[in-house]
Chain A
Amino acid sequence: MTAMQHDPAYNFAYLDEQTKRMIRRALLKALAIPGYQVPFASREMPMPYGWGTGGVQVTAACLTPGDRLKVIDQGADDTTNAVSIRKFFERTAGVETTEHTAEASVIQTRHRIPEAPLGEGQILVYQVPIPEPLRFLEPRETESRKMHALEEYGLMYVKLYEDIAHNGAISTAYAYPVKVEGRYVMDPSPIPKFDNPKLESGAIQLFGAGREQRIYAIPPYTQVVSLDFEDHPFEPSKADHDCDLCGCGTSYLDEVITDDAGGRMFVCSDTDFCAARQAEGHRGRLSAEDAA
């Protein structure tokens, strides 16, 4: 039993049961073929395409009344779109929500994987704008589908290699392509490449692209390798600073401009992670020492 009730004007978790069944069938095939994009008949949601309609449909298809939902955008629980999506599910599914990563059974995210490791019993739902990793090399779906079928990923390696030849480094900083279980090249959604190593996880990872009508998945403990070359190994990078609020030296940081004289500070993008550290007494360069 949960304390909250969903708005009786809507079906539980908004979607009708037939739509949920269609999405659920796609999710199961996605888990059975890790990294392969399953087409699904994405519905028009009461929020714009490009704002998480794929993730929202996946979350709606997975939620049970006993779930505790966390929604983040850019790592933060309080960004406006995260607030808006959380509110949508509070109203239509009546589920409890939380900001604490460890307490959440379902986490919907845009652009980040939480810093705290996820584990069994947790589901991470990604909002995906362009699910096709080959799209910017070959815009035609008819062509990229053939390339996946034939495991023809030479073009992707050529692109990464040309990057190195021109710039001395691979110029992809986010949505960095990965190969899943040695078969499908997959777009991990626009997470910074810093997050790529966390794609190997004990949690179930589900990816929803509403406008592009695709669902894909990574089961727990699945091999996920970021594409690279022996002489140019993949490097998960971040700003070379510590968090100015909690002092963490290993978390992904947002850069904040603090004045018009070039002043800036760096803070954890994962707001729950940062707040928890501060509560434990960790301090950064710009922490208010008297904060009680």
Chain B
Amino acid sequence: MYVAVKGGERAIDAAHDWLAEERRGDPEVPELSLAQIREQMSLAVNRVMAEGSLYDPELAALAIKQARGDLIEAIFLIRAYRTTLPRIGHSRAVDTGAMRCDRRVSATFKDAPGGQVLGPTFDYTHRLLDFKLAAEGAAPVARQAEPTEAPTPRITEFLNRDGLIQDEAHSDETPADMTRQPMEYPADRALRLQALTRGDEGFVLGMAYSTQRGYGRNHPFVGELRIGAVEVEMEISELGFDICIGEVTLTECETVNQFMGSKTEPAQFTRGYGLVFGQTERKAISMALVDRALRWEELGEENVGAPAQDEEFVLAHSDNIQATGFLEHIKLPHYVDFQSELELVRKMRREAEGSMKEAAE
């Protein structure tokens, strides 16, 4: 006697209870606070803010805690929450030229106004496990220099002064917003940059790496990488002027790329651009490389068929929430479809066997 499986609802509730218990782990071990995650897992928090497209370290920390450290799951939680928020207004474009830089390096000039500032980077750490961290209690204190009040002009502006680098046209046009309008190809550059900045770090990194290895090579140098805080301003129409509503930490990368010139343009350097929430250096550099690769058409370059030059391929597959959802959905029941294929394969085998038998006779 066969009894169909029932009780999906009870199974789901039980699974959620178990998940909650697992999330907490051993109750003998103190529970993580959001402040601990925010302060000590800050790069994870930054990634969740960047790919979740919501700048809120506290919520990102909560998402990471709830997601048991699965960052894509945490990004998903943030995205789902973000969609429910009303849009009260729009900020002005931030001025990254006025950034208070914690870090600022250029690969193209040994020194430049504003200087090279290493900042809190892993770059020259030797990747040796620091067993002292296994013990609790240490609160290291870094030496502090005098903060500079002088502005930190962008490196690419020096090149621009001599016409050596392509000028980027200024536009006050409101960019499209892929979270409010369906994606449409071809996408303009602003839309591509939006897709890349919230795209999966691993995907964008892989695409960028592929250009470096020759699939659509575009000879990049990091013209400048800067990380720091910028003010966010909003125009209050009732007041008739802008007010600062807070500040965000951003990572900005401008690459300087070779350009051999075309029939209409002399040889000149060109740019790739990356701008990402938080200290997210790998992502910002990757974004700049992929941005540059996607600009082949506007710069009159050849499409060599490289994956990173293929706008629809890159943009349609960069979102990890879409990707993971669709990938994981294949574990949902598909037995109706499977049954229809099973019948078809059986039928085709019967017919093939029949005709083989006929041929043998």
Which residues of A pack against B, CB within 8 Å? 16, 39-46, 48-51, 53, 73-76, 78-84, 87, 110-112, 129, 140-142, 167-169, 171, 173-175, 190-194, 211, 213, 237-240, 244-245, 252-256, 258, 265, 267, 269, 271, 286, 288
Please give, as numbers and ranges, the residues of chain B lying within 8 Å of A48 by CB-CB distance: 76, 321, 324-325, 328-329
Q: How far, in whole Å, are A169 and B341 apart by their CA atoms in the complex? A: 12
Q: How far, in whole Å, are A240 and B344 apart by their CA atoms in the complex? A: 11
CB of B91 within 8 Å of the partner chain: no
A169 touches B348 (CB 8 A): yes
Instruction: Select which of A175, A237, A240, A244 is within 8 A of B2 by beta carbon.
Output: A244
Q: Is the interface of B mostly helix, strand, loop or mixed?
A: helix
Please give, as numbers and ranges, the residues of chain B lying within 8 Å of A191 by CB-CB distance: 336
Q: Is the interface of A mostly helix, strand, loop or mixed?
A: loop
Which of B84, B86, B339 is the most central at the interface, judged by chain A CB atoms within 10 Å of its CB?
B339
Closest-CB distance, B259 to chain A (whole angstroms):
26
B2 touches A45 (CB 8 A): no
Known contacts A48-B324, A142-B186, A267-B2; is A192 also within 8 Å of B336 by CB?
A: yes
CB of B337 within 8 Å of the partner chain: yes
Please give, as numbers and ranges, the residues of chain A lying within 8 Å of B5 by CB-CB distance: 78
Please give, as numbers and ranges, the residues of chain A lying within 8 Å of B180 by CB-CB distance: 41
B1-55: which have CB < 8 Å to A?
A: 1-2, 4-9, 11-12
Q: How far, in whole Å, are A75 and B4 apart by their CA atoms in the complex? A: 13
A49 touches B326 (CB 8 A): yes
Task: Give 19 CB contacts A-B under 8 Å.
Answer: A44-B79, A44-B82, A44-B83, A48-B324, A48-B325, A49-B321, A49-B325, A78-B6, A78-B7, A82-B8, A141-B312, A167-B348, A171-B348, A174-B337, A175-B337, A190-B334, A213-B183, A245-B2, A267-B2
Known contacts A111-B336, A142-B185; is A49 also within 8 Å of B2 by CB?
A: no
A39 touches B182 (CB 8 A): yes
Please give, as numbers and ranges, the residues of chain A lying within 8 Å of B344 by CB-CB distance: 169, 171, 173, 237
B312 touches A111 (CB 8 A): no
Which of B12, B82, B182, B312 is the most central at the interface, judged by chain A CB atoms within 10 Å of its CB?
B182
Please give, as numbers and ranges, the residues of chain A lying within 8 Å of B4 by CB-CB distance: 76, 78, 267, 271
Q: B231-255: contact bitstring with A at CB < 8 Å (1 yes, 0 no)?
A: 0000000000000000000000000
Please give, as numbers and ranges, the residues of chain A lying within 8 Å of B322 by CB-CB distance: 49, 211
Known contacts A16-B84, A255-B339; is A73 also within 8 Å of B348 by CB?
A: no
A193 touches B342 (CB 8 A): no
Closest-CB distance, A119 to chain B (whole angstroms):
23
